[in-house]
Amino acid sequence: MSSGDDQQLQALAKPTFTEVQASAVVESVFGLKVSKIQPLPSYDDQNFHVHISKTKDTTDGPIEYVLKISNTESSKNPDLIEVQNHIIMFLKAAGFPTASVCRTKGDNTTSLMSIDSGTEIKSYLVRLLTYLPGKPIAKIPVSTQLLYEIGTLAAKLDKALEKFHHPKLSSLHRENFIWNLKNIPLLEKYVNALGRNRNREIVEQVIQLFKEEIMTKLSHFRECINHGDLNDHNILVESSKSAFGDAVYQVSGILDFGDMSYGYYVFEVAITIMYMMIESNNPIQVGGHILAGFESIIPLTAVERSALFLLVCSRFCQSLVMAAYSCQLHPENKEYLMITAKTGWKHLQQMFDMGQKAVEEIWFETAKSYESGISL
């Protein structure tokens, strides 16, 4: 298949349901009467914010939901979506602020919808989750205390999932999944989207260093299930007033379990650090606070710590390269796809220019300061 065909397939993979069609899905599959529906931003699936009309049967239930329509590629793997749903339910039962998964009229957690597009029949997996209130972290000034708590949350989530069991759990071994951090070499297929410039040179250097320094260490990392996408739009917060009258934020929601896969503890820390750097005024300082929070639950080994710098650079490369590539496929979604790129290239260049030793010194000194009770 030519790369043009491949691009066309990927471009067609994202669902294009209208609001009327999405309302019909909610009513026919989940038996709820829609009063209002509006699209939500998304990467390659389609999401809708759904308000339902109250009836005597739904008086006590929630009135806001999120309808998630998986792209045609993900929809071919119902086992994976089912496992994600059960993880969301498992974490909620364990006290994490995740959504509730709604049952279909047939008492399932997903339903496969077949739509005639005029030229072919396309199938999409649909599911309905309760809507979580709160603001994305991207919309607030993030304190060092909140960064620490997010690091703690990432570790607690991975630790809780050690106890998760499901007959289809093997579906999380997603060997060629582009968003698993161990698949950085797969980015070579997409770097042409960057053109010829310094950004591309950095990406190619990171890929090469990853092959030399990370691939050889993977067997020494401790394996776990990763959320894999604790970004600044997937963590919600709500505020309360402190004794001094200013706003104090607590995590109130964790969204989007679509990138879950088997990975390693150190991957979760690296991914979280990278995304929390995006909105920060002091991006290089972020890593130490996240690391301190994470290590208060799961201390990293020396070999895991030594890989952290390159793993954060690698996640920047994943996000930035795939955003550039996806913009070629979906120019209409450019604003959402380029969120990371607004500051991401600058942060990656800064890390690269400073070098591993200098960045690690800041991270590790900051993390160490928490042990003495004086956070930097």
Is pLDDT at 241 greater than 90 in this prediction? no
Q: What is the tens place of the pLDDT at every residue in 138-187?
A: 999 899 999 999 999 999 999 999 999 999 999 999 989 999 999 999 99
What's the token pair of residue 52? 């339902």
Four-residue CA torsion sign, 366, 369, 373, 374: negative
Q: What is the DSSP string of 159-194?
A: HHGGG---TTGGGG--TT-TTSGGGGGGGGGTGGGG
Q: What is the mean pLDDT of residues 290-304?
A: 98
Place of tokens 């026919």: 28
Are residues 229 and 254 in contact, defined by beta-carbon separation less than 8 angstroms? Answer: no
Enzyme catalytic residues: 229
pTM over 0.85? The answer is: yes
User: In this structure, are residues 125 and 61 in contact, taking their beta carbons and an 8 Å threshold?
Assistant: no
Q: What is the pLDDT of residues 35-60, one digit of tens each?
A: 999 999 887 789 999 999 876 565 56
Cβ(111)–Cβ(88) below 8 Å:
no
Distance (Å, rounded) from C-alpha 321 to C-alpha 201? 12
The answer, yes or no, to whether residue 345 has pLDDT greater than 80, is yes
From residue 76, alpha-carbon distances to 79, 124, 202 in Å are 9, 8, 35
Other Cβ atoms less than 10 A from the Cβ of 20: the count is 9
Count Cβ atoms below 10 Å from residue 341 Cβ, excluding itself: 17
Residue with tokens 């597009």: 117
In this model, does residue 335 exceed pLDDT 70? no
Average pLDDT, the chain: 89
